[in-house]
Each structure stands twice: as structure tokens, then as C-alpha cells.
Amino acid sequence: TVIFESRRLGVADVPRNCAPLKKMTVSDIAIAQIDLADKEKGEVNLDASSHKIADGKSYDTDVLKELERAQRRQWAVGGAVGVLDVALVVATIVAGRLAFVEPPRDGAIDTTALAGWLGLCGAIMIFGGASIMIKTPSVEEANCDCMVFQCYCSTAVAVVSLLVWAIGSAEGPSLDVIDGGSVLCGALFAAIWVSSQVLCVNGIQIIGAAVAVAVIDGVTICTSFFWGVLAFNASVRSVAGVAVAMTMMVLGVCLATASSVISDREAAARRAQELRILAEGTPQSRRTSQQSCTSAALSVQALPTATSDAPEDPGRLRKKVVGIFCALGMGLGNGSLMVPMALFQHGLPALGIREYAGEELASLAFLPSISIGIILAQLVLFLLYWGPAMCRGRMPEFHLRKVAVPGLLTGVYWGLGNFCAMYATIYLGQTVGFPLTQLCLVVNGMWGILFYREIRGRAALATFVLASAVILGGAVLQGLSC
């Protein structure tokens, strides 16, 4: 009998005598028995209700206690992250008031504005940890639909945006900043954001987080830069320098992705060896291997059949293409996310959008329009997404007890990070400010290394360090070239 972590295992990790595991959750105790004595049948027997496996042996609750500790750690870290995020937002607002600098116009950038740099740092730090609550065991257990989870996030972003606007306005909130043009910009912002988030989830599910993140961040950096140059007349001092900088950042993203792939492969090889020893070795070697495996619990992923000669799925290539297009769509949407705010700030008479002329910074004045737009766009997109299934009698499951609070907190984090990113974009421009927020990939990777232990092994860690250096070097070069 062995206990192992299914989420981290691939096809090559499971001995040939193992049949595919059915989907299991933490509440199902997540304990499986592989009957190694019956190698021909390769049955996997579960008896979650009694905390026993099919041979009648009772397991101690070490695995369950570890899951509970992980849940508590997750909430403690989530609370600390929330406090840090609020502090970064407050610092950005205070700097914008005490050291006010007139926002640049006509695509120019102003590197002397302290609020712009604080906004950039805040966006990097907040976005880098915005997804930590998604890793909460209860969320993984629920296996919630991406649009349902997005409903919680959208609700929190709308509320947080209103609160920041109400508290951060120097002379108090004024409804004068809301008109037809601003609501149109807010709805456009929300439609891009909600749809791109759904594309992101689907892309990651199809082609995996490693490849999807590389595609998304690379396309985001390029898209944001080209919006600044082509649509907002941003000046570029050195075209060659910008080209090299963007190449470096995209290369760094690919290296960061490679570090995750290397880590997963090394971990898979270790686990495969442990399972082989357990299946074929002596009783003593089995006990040793079992002890090395009992620290991991099953996740909510299912394992495919471990046969190297399995026939190729005829729809597999088509599915991968769909996943790549989802990641490309997310990158295009993410890179275009600040365009509605720029339209709100500078105006576009052809669409009936007036140039913002208020005393508050555009990043603050735009927040109520974002809230209204998110409420409208989320409702429309939810009905488009779930409407056909609901007409057939299939209702969405909202998993209130398990998913509501993590989903709302994820939206709170993202809303605060988005506010900081708008400050960075106003002062540092669409060509520098928003692309540099993608440095959050480095922060996200540090979370994966130091807290979640997702990247292990010398080769993987060395690759990630190199990736971070390349990304940071590209970011500095881009700042000097614009």
C-alpha cells in the first residue's frame, strides 16, 4: 500500500499495473491503495468513509492533520498578504497627494513621480501573490467552474474599487466623474478582464500552467508596448534597445517556465523510482519507500492510464491548439487592459468619450466606472457562458462554503493590484509602466519556491534565478530605452 500525491504525477510516474484513479477530494480522505499483489488487475481500492483501505488496516491521521495545517497556513498567509496589499495602496495614494506631479500627456512618461514608481512596485508585489488563495485546499477540493469563481472575484473587485475611490478621493467622492463615456470605458475594461480571466483558466487547464504563463506574459508585454507606441504616441529613444529589452523579458518568461517543467520532471522521476522500488523490491525497501511517500496527499486531479503504447487521442492536437489560442487571447486582453483607462483619461470623441478634466488622478476617478462596468459585464458574460446549460436544466454550483471567501479575497487582491497598475500606467506609460508590472512573475515564482516548494532541484532553481536576472535586466533596459 502506498500513499502519494497524484497532482504532481504524470503518465510516466505510475507503474504499469496501476489503473486510472477516479477523481477524489480532500473530504474523501484522499487515501488510495494500490494492490501491488494483484499486478494483473491493477485495482485501486478506496474506502474513504471509514478511513480504512480495502485490506482493513487503519491509517493514522498524519495526512489529514497535515492538510488541516496547510489550510491554516494558507489563511494566515492570505491575511498577511492582504495587510501588505492595503499598505502598498495607501502608500501610493499618500505619495500621489503629498508629492503630486501633473500626469504627462500625449503618450509621454514621467519618471520623477514617486506615486508612479510606488504604484509599479505595488502592482508587482500584489499581482505576484494575488493567486495564493486559489491554492487553498478547500478550493482545490471543490473543483469550481472558472466562471463561478470569477463571479466571486468580480464582486470583490467592484466593491474594492468603490471603497478605494470613496476613501482615496481628496475632496470626497463625486458622481460627476460618472457619465455615459466613463461607463462605456468601464464596461470595456470589465469585458476584457472577465473574458481574459476565463480564457486564462481554460488555457492553463488544457496546455498546463508552465506553457500558458509563458505565452500569456510574453504576449502581454508585447501587446502593451505596441498599444503605447501605435495608439498613444509614446516616444521611444532607442528602438534597438526596446527590441532587445522585450526579447530579454520574453526569454526570461520562457526560462521561468522551463524551471517549472524541469522541477516537475525531476520530481516525477523520483516518485516513479520510489513506486518501482515499492512494487518490485524487498519488504524492507517497500517500507522505506512508503515512508518517503506518506507526506503527500492526493489532490483533485485524475491520473491517465500509464501505458506508453496507448493510442493517440485524435482530438488531442485540436485541444492543444484551442489551449494555445486561449493563452494568446488572455495575453492580448491583459496587454490591452489599461487601454480603457487611457481612453477615459485622454478621451475619444468618436465614441462619445470626453477627456477627463477633474482634479483627482484619472486612476482614482475611473474606479466607480470600473465597478459599474464589472457588474454589467459579469452578468452578461455569465449568462452567455452558463445560459445554454441552464436552459437544459443544469445549474451552476457556487460552492459557497468552500470557495466564496477565497474567491472574494482573490478579487480583493486583484482589485488593489489593478489600482496600483493604473498609477504606474498613468505616469510611466503604456510602453513602460504596464509591461513592467509583469515582473510579478518573479514574485510569483518566489512564492512557489519558498512557500509552496513547487520548484525544487538544483537545475530548476538555477534556471529560475537565471530567468529572474534576464527579466530584471530586460525591464531596466526597457526603462532606459523609452
Q: Contact at 8 Å (CB) between 256 and 445?
A: yes
Look up cell 518573479; give the residue. Answer: 442
Evaluated on CA atoms 444, 450, 452, 455, the torsion sign reads: positive
CA distances from 265 to 10, 308, 335, 455 (A): 9, 16, 31, 11
Whole-number pLDDT of residue 345: 86
Query: Which residue in 354, 346, 367, 342 sits closest to 424, CA to CA?
Result: 342
Burial of 314 (0-12, 13-18, 19+ CB in 10 A): exposed
pLDDT in tens, 335-375: 899 899 889 988 888 888 888 888 788 888 899 999 999 99
Whole-number pLDDT of residue 408: 93
DSSP 3-state percent helix, strand, coil across the chain (nearest 5): 70, 0, 30
The DSSP bridge partners found for residue 353 are 348
Spell out the per-residue pLDDT of the chain, length 482, in tens: 333 333 333 333 333 333 333 333 333 333 333 333 333 343 334 334 334 433 343 444 566 677 777 778 888 888 899 999 999 999 998 988 888 888 887 667 888 889 999 999 999 999 888 888 877 778 877 888 888 989 999 999 999 999 998 888 766 677 888 888 999 999 999 999 989 888 887 777 677 666 677 778 788 888 888 888 877 777 778 888 888 988 888 888 888 778 878 887 888 888 888 777 777 655 555 555 555 544 444 333 333 333 344 444 556 778 778 888 888 899 899 889 989 988 998 888 888 888 888 878 888 889 999 999 999 999 999 999 999 999 999 999 999 988 999 999 999 999 999 999 988 888 888 778 888 887 887 887 788 777 777 778 888 888 888 888 888 888 888 777 87
Query: Which residue in 92, 34, 52 sits closest to 420, CA to CA?
Result: 92
DSSP notation for 30-60: T--EE-TT-TTT--EE--GGGTB-TT-PBPP
Query: Would you give the end-to-end CA distance of the chain in angstroms?
Result: 61
Give Rg (Cα) of the chain. Answer: 25
Classify residue 134 by its DSSP letter.
G
Grid cell for residue 112? 520623477
Q: How many helices (H) and strands (E) would you count in the chain? A: 16, 2
CA atoms within 13 Å, Cβ hemisphere of 269 = 8
CA distances from 34 to 29, 42, 46, 64 (A): 15, 7, 9, 19
Q: Contact at 8 Å (CB) between 306 and 15?
A: yes
Type of residue at 122: G
Q: What is the C-alpha separation between 346 and 446, in angstroms, rounded? A: 37
